[in-house]
Amino acid sequence: MDAKKIYLTAEGLEELQKEYDDLAKKKRPEILDRLSDARNQGDLSENAEYVAAREELSFIDGRIDEVEELLKQATLIKEEDHKSGGKAVVALGSTVTLHVSGKKEVFTVVGEWEADPTDKKISHESPLGKALMGKGIGEKFEVDAPAGKIAYTVVSIN
């Protein structure tokens, strides 16, 4: 198994735990009931409900295993990681306001499992995330993008 650390915010860890609880305590028992009902209908070779329930059970068991592994490897992002020598710097979990192309954009730097660009959550492994790490307020930097280099300035860090 890959020993790569899985970085999660407290919110991301809570979401993952909720998903695990929902799968293990609600969805899996529901599917087991469906499977039992389908099994009681007789001939399993032509029973579409039985086949569908088996496939769904297999999918849910796989996801439960995946989430369990993520929870075991999860490293919680701590607030104190945001300071370097007393000054605020961009780190995992930072919410950063950037000045780009004449406007302000706000991003949160998260681990790759929580990344959601549509929600302005960027991975610390993405080009912008990598460039942001360790930057302080007022620092300027450029990121190569498909459309060319994009210049950014760090406005604030929370």
Euclidean distance between CA atoms 104 and 70, whole angstroms: 34
Give me the pLDDT at residue 15, please: 92
Exposed/middle/buried for residue 92 (C-beta within 10 Å: 0-12, 13-18, 19+):
buried
Give me the pLDDT at residue 6, please: 87
Give the mean pLDDT of 139-155. 91
- Higher pLDDT: 149 or 85? It is 149
DSSP-derived pairing of the beta strands 121-123 and 103-110: parallel
3-state SS, residue 86: coil
Euclidean distance between CA atoms 158 and 156, whole angstroms: 7
Domains of the chain: 6-76 (1.10.287.180), 79-157 (3.10.50.30)
pLDDT interval class at 43 (50, 70, 90): confident
Residues 61-116: tens digit of each pLDDT: 999 999 999 999 998 887 655 555 557 889 888 999 999 988 999 999 999 889 99
Rg over alpha carbons for the chain, rounded to the nearest Å, is 22
